[in-house]
Amino acid sequence: MRAVCNRAGVHATACVAAFIAKNPTDVVQESAAFMLELESIWQALALEPEEVWTELLRRIEMGELFLRLNQPPHRKKMNGRTQRPWRISTSKLP
């Protein structure tokens, strides 16, 4: 188990180093190697890969939902212009 964790750490570190060095070929290779080591870790814990992918999908969907909820409501357009909730008719203060 310790050897698998060490290999995963080596590949993760190499992936980050390749990213910093802006070497896309090495990033791809080290990412793939890291994913294989992750699968080994999952197998050691009797986890199905589907459990992990389901969790990732859930997080993506929650993030998209929060993004949509934080967007301002869309206003209807009249004559190609968006309506304003208020209209300024003068720049003079009362």
| pLDDT for position 10 | 97
Alpha-carbon distance of 69 to 64, in angstroms, equals 9
| pLDDT band for position 26 (cuts 50, 70, 90) | very high
Alpha-carbon distance of 20 to 27, in angstroms, equals 10
Structure confidence by residue, pLDDT tens digits, 54-73: 999 999 999 888 888 877 76
Is 92's pLDDT higher than 90?
Answer: no
Alpha-carbon distance of 50 to 39, in angstroms, equals 11
| pLDDT band for position 83 (cuts 50, 70, 90) | low
Domain parsing of the chain, residue ranges: 1-47
Is 79's pLDDT higher than 60?
Answer: yes
Share the mean pLDDT of the chain.
85
